[in-house]
Structure 1
């Protein structure tokens, strides 16, 4: 859910701040606010799945594709759009992105068919593609270096908080005024914030021109072949990329289908189901922070434990969700779903640490962007469609019984990477 935001942790532009503390926190608040708007616009669709299915007679596969197309575009376009923002101006690009996804969300509100909605969601994904990476670069550029970890963690958690707000508010608005107003509300919120951002945040106020020129000149240059060799110099890192992406099939699927599951299985009203599902999304964001902190403490003296913690999170997620969806509806099932959601994105912390450790500091930004690509295409985009395909043939409940097996596949991939990790570290020391 927002993994592309890690793509700039090694950015050379994030140097010493040149603005006042008050202005820096204003930049953070507005950039974070637009991140909330980003994910609110992305998740509004999932809250109104039941209404769209009934009105347009859509299959679950079609519903899943409307959700996944956004993650596909984010995964494909994050890296090139981030490069464009570095060259053209980050603030200018942020504002353009926000305006584009807001108008595209407004297009969702006036869509009259599946095809029109798919086209509008496609444009939502284009607009949101690089917001996380570019937005974090802007935030880091106005704060001192010793706050980077705190700011990065807080910014990444905004994806879950925005998803939670979008899901809850959209369900309430849809229940009272119709699903079209849910999209329109999120669009207006994004447009208003875009105008405020344009007034308050400018490239000139963020950093002097000389600092930007010096930072560009200091960036290392790679041939495409040399860059790929540097990205995959460690054999274990490929397993880390893929394992995290596969694990994120679970949160991708659950974010999209939980409101529908609660409506169909518990016969909840849409507004109540959306609020409850939003609570589970909030748990996922909190869990990502907690699991990252726990991993740092456990692995402080032994780097191999990062792999062990990732494996443990995957196994626990499988146990919680596989058990939950084999139980009849009731409080125990909801508790286990909450437990699974708390741990579902927990692998992001150890994976991010491993990617940074196993690649050269000069290409950390590129390595993180590649990680974001795997997370979006293998996980967040695939999850909703996989569940939709299975649901059309076997029912939504059966689809959710099968989807936890992705966590076991992820655990196996992390285990294979762990076996190669020590040799990779030894090879790095020899270079």
Structure 2
């Protein structure tokens, strides 16, 4: 049996949905999107229960910070190796197993009796989530045609932002009424239902073996080595510039999520509750931008392929200009409105970037390519962005720090423009290579 195919029991259900050619991709999308929401609900609920944990266990702030950071640390370290496993073992099986791991680990958080147990449970949340975004993106890139790819992947990735907001809000409400342990139970349990359904509805695609250019007459190994996988992942200029551009741009939503509540309390005279609510509105705006940003890129690039990379360049440029002006203005309604507008464009490039790298790389390594994008986003933007603001804030104040940091988005725009110069050629070359392999 091909290990990349789902278990036999799943075939009748999958085949039934597959006979509905228009509905099936959207069923797959709905389930995959739902699991992405569960992923980020489980990841971000910790923020809502930190005050209760401090009160119950008397933890230091550094210990509480470890509970937040350990998930991102495990995801960053394991995303590429776990995605390699997903490419070999099969996306559906991997997604199902990962969802069970992070959901059960989230429930285990509610059973923890001390800081050490809770830290280990949170680490297992990260283990389950390490390759989910990559495997889910690879599966959706296969199910949907290329002309819809940016829109679909953008919508899929927007679940991370919506899930983050929902995790904090839902966790806080449940913790206030039923205690912090119940918050973990409520957040972790629904994902188990989706994980049970997933392999019975979704069909995997047979892993495409890596092959050299057919014109050279080479023979492909059955199990490509890491060196060959790395060559495929970093094979083209447009893909490499896109990794860099996406990472730089992702510093924008990261800094907004981390520092807007503090900015609103210091400069807009908001109380903590209102500052958190306003920050949530900004995060929702970023999620909406990610949801629709890919669709706009698909539409504008339909007859002009180069625009696939130029549209996200425009998103980055608008983000930089709007946020620089917003934070430079005196605190007031105009500055607040411009922050929300800048947030709308801050993550809009997410689906575009994922689509670009999928378009120009081998389908046999798409999960690994998506994992590389996740790695770039974390190492270049998500982790350093808030830290850069914090360091600058100590030197020149938070307001000026937030005014200067959107310069990273300007650098992202330049990288997207550089990617656009070779994207059309790289995508056409990949398309020709794929057609030649099928003909052979």
TM-score of the superposition, structure 2-length normalised? 0.74
Partner of 2:294: 292
Residues 163/376 of structure 1: CA separation in 2 closer, same or farther (3 Å cut): same
2:301 maps to 1:309: no
Residue 389 of structure 1: CA displacement? 3.3
Q: Among 224, 227, 231, which residue is 2:226 paired with?
A: 224
The equivalent of 1:97 in structure 2 is 102
Query: Shift of residue 360 of structure 1?
Result: 2.9
- Displacement of 1:40 in angstroms is 2.5
2:352: which partner in 1? 350
CA–CA distance in structure 1, aligned partners of residues 248 and 278 of structure 2: 25
Q: Aligned-pair distance for 1:197? A: 4.3
After superposition, residues 245-264 of structure 1 pair within 5 angstroms as 245-264=247-266
Residue in structure 1 matched with residue 206 of structure 2 by the alignment = 215
Note the C-alpha offset of 1:116.
8.8
Separation (CA, whole Å) in 1 of partners of 2:14 and 2:389: 46
Equivalent in 197, 202, 212 of residue 201 of structure 1:
197
2:218 is aligned to none
Shift of 1:326: 1.4
- Give yes or no for contact 1:68–1:384 (8 Å, CA) kept in 2: no
| CA contact 1:12–1:219 (8 Å) conserved in 2 | no
Check the 8 A contact 2:254/2:382 in 1, yes or no: yes
Indicate whether 1:334 and 2:336 are aligned: yes
Distance of 1:106 and 1:395 partners within structure 2: 41
**SS, match of residue 270 in structure 2:** coil
Tell me the residue number matched to 2:216.
none
C-alpha distance in 2 between matches for 1:333 and 1:83: 45
C-alpha offsets along residues 171-221 of structure 1, whole Å, 9 cap, x if unaligned? 5567x57xx94x5354112332245346x4274x347xxx87x935x5444
The answer for the alignment partner of 1:42 in structure 2 is 43
Deviation, 1:80, is 2.5
Partner in structure 1 of residue 127 of structure 2 = 126
Q: Note if contact 2:31-2:194 (Cα within 8 Å) is conserved in structure 1.
A: yes
**Structure-to-structure mapping, 1:264-279, within 5 angstroms:** 264-279=266-281
Distance 2:136 2:311 in 1: 29
State how far apart, in whole Å, the 1-side matches of 2:141 and 2:419 are.
31
Instruction: Deviation per CA, 1:300-331: give whole Å up to 9, x if none.
Output: 22222223222211111011111111122221
Length, aligned pairs only: 403
Give unmatched runs, 5+ long, in structure 2.
Answer: 211-222, 434-440
Q: 2:15 and 2:123 mapped to 1: Cα distance?
A: 38
Alignment match, 2:188: 191
Alpha-carbon shift at residue 243 of structure 1 (Å):
0.9
Alignment match, 2:436: none
Greater shift, 38-47 or 222-231, is seen at 38-47
Superposition pairs of residues 110-189 of structure 1, within 5 angstroms: 111=115, 122-134=123-135, 149=149, 152-170=153-171, 181=179, 184-189=181-186
C-alpha distance in 2 between matches for 1:296 and 1:147? 6
Q: 1:116 to 1:363 in 2, by over 3 A?
A: closer
Shift in Å at residue 289 of structure 1?
2.3
| In structure 1, C-alpha distance between the alignment counterparts of 2:414 and 2:147, rounded to whole Å | 35
Question: How far off its partner does 1:136 sit?
Answer: 5.9
Cα separation, partners in 2 of 1:391 and 1:188, compared to 1, 3 Å = farther
Task: Tell me how large the CA RMSD over aligned residues is.
Answer: 4.2
**Cα 1:84–1:416, aligned 2, differ >3 Å: closer, same or farther?**
closer
Taking structure 1 as the reference length, the TM-score comes to 0.76
Distance 2:34 2:137 in 1: 12
Query: Relative contact order: is structure 1 or structure 2 higher (C-alpha 8 Å, sep ≥ 6)?
Result: 1
- Distance in 1 separating the partners of 2:243 and 2:51: 34
- Check whether the contact 1:40–1:166 (CA below 8 A) recurs between aligned residues: yes
